[in-house]
Homo-oligomer: A and B are copies of this chain.
Amino acid sequence: MKRVRLVDVAEVAGVSTKTVSNVVHDYPHVAPELRLRVQAAIDKLGYRPNLTARRLVTGRTGMIALAIPEIDHPYFSELSRQIAEEAARRNYRVIIEQTLGKLDAEHAVLEDREAGLVDGIIFHPVSIGALSIAKLHHDTPLVLLGEGAMPATSDHVMIDNVAAAAEAVHFLLRQGRRRIAFLGVVEDDVTFSTDKRLLGYQQGLIEAGLDPDPALVLSVKDFSPEASGEAVRAALERGVSIDGIVCRDDKFAAGALRACAAAGISVPDGIAVLGWDDTAIGKYTTPSLTSVAPDKSALASTALELLTERIDGFRGVGRHRIVPHGLTIRQSTPSVSSGLAVPQGKPAVPSA
């Protein structure tokens, strides 16, 4: 069965193809009677426009690429959902490109690999540097996500990692914690997320008049929860005194919870643990996880706003947007009736 085309409809309705096209697009200046006749023909034949053909002539594909390291990492799958929904709201389809953080895959994202396929790209880079991005990026509208490389030429959306980390520290300090560790610095880590969060952690301590203790910055072998748990175990074994841990992500926090349990230390009574990204992981750990919560919905809508502006012809220099973050409070930090959970007037994201 061959696909029904515009001409087929036109023939049945006895009009020109353009009139059918006009009806399809709800062009206002079509006589009501004709519109009805054409619509009847469309329904009768079950006509559906061929989007590829439309795209060729309009130059718009109605699709955007979302390039992320891993589809099935909770943070990215949750973010993908927000982006997919926001995109759907704006009549865009999303095609997902998984880079696995590999350099060549990240290069491919920019090298017009999707030539003529997508109207724009939302890209969370990991390995690639700012210079390479600037150099490889052609003219497909691009919005960058995350704390990675950010050339001044491209649009960028992120949360204020430094402030968020400092707030997390303040949150624990307000509950009387004084020996707050940072988990963790990853060996051979090429990302900037950890740097920023570590910086904010130190800044938070200094703001409170405390002296950051290098022994409290825990180093982790790789990005697995096993490695982070091991780092906590080792620190405790070394006799490092700890009563709170700010983690660079929820996976690390999950590892920390395991290590504490194994060491017979109660969370949050003995050690308070604070995760990062507010992923679903935090709902399933025991105890459940308090976590820095990037406003993923704002992230998604801001990214799409910037991207669609570019698609619609905006040609200015790179814009950098900070979206809000909060703190989702669960059981891994002590509950307090006194102090507010979220400093600086930002609303806490409700726990799920």
Q: Are A84 and B56 in contact (CB under 8 A)?
A: no
A153 at the interface (CB under 8 A from B): no
A138 to B112, CA, bound (A): 33
Q: Which residues of B contact A53 (CB under 8 A)?
A: 56, 116
Bound complex: CA of A49 vs CA of B112, how far in Å?
10
B78→A72 contact, CB < 8 A: yes
Provide the bound-state CA to CA distance between A261 and B280, in Å.
20
Asked if A80 and B74 make an inter-chain contact with CB atoms under 8 angstroms apart, the answer reads: no
Please classify how large the interface on chain A is, using the bins under 10, 10 to 19, 20 to 34, 35 or more.
35 or more
Chain B nearest CB from A181 CB (Å) reads 21
Q: Which residues of B contact A49 (CB under 8 A)?
A: 115-116
**Alpha-carbon separation in the docked complex, A98 to B96 (Å):** 13
A320 at the interface (CB under 8 A from B): no
Number of copies: 2
Q: How far is the CA of A46 from the CA of B70 in the complex (A)?
A: 30
Of the candidates B52, B84, B88, the one whose C-beta lies within 8 Å of that of A117 is B52
Known: A72-B74, A72-B80, A96-B94. A115 touches B284 (CB 8 A): no
Contact B61 A72 (CB under 8 A): no
30 A-B pairs with CB atoms under 8 Å apart are: A3-B115, A46-B138, A48-B112, A49-B115, A50-B116, A51-B117, A52-B52, A52-B55, A52-B117, A53-B56, A53-B116, A56-B56, A63-B95, A74-B74, A74-B77, A74-B280, A80-B96, A81-B98, A84-B96, A84-B98, A93-B97, A93-B117, A95-B96, A225-B283, A254-B284, A257-B286, A281-B284, A284-B284, A285-B285, A285-B286
The 8 closest A-B pairs by CB, nearest first: A286-B286, A77-B77, A48-B115, A50-B116, A72-B77, A72-B81, A71-B81, A95-B95
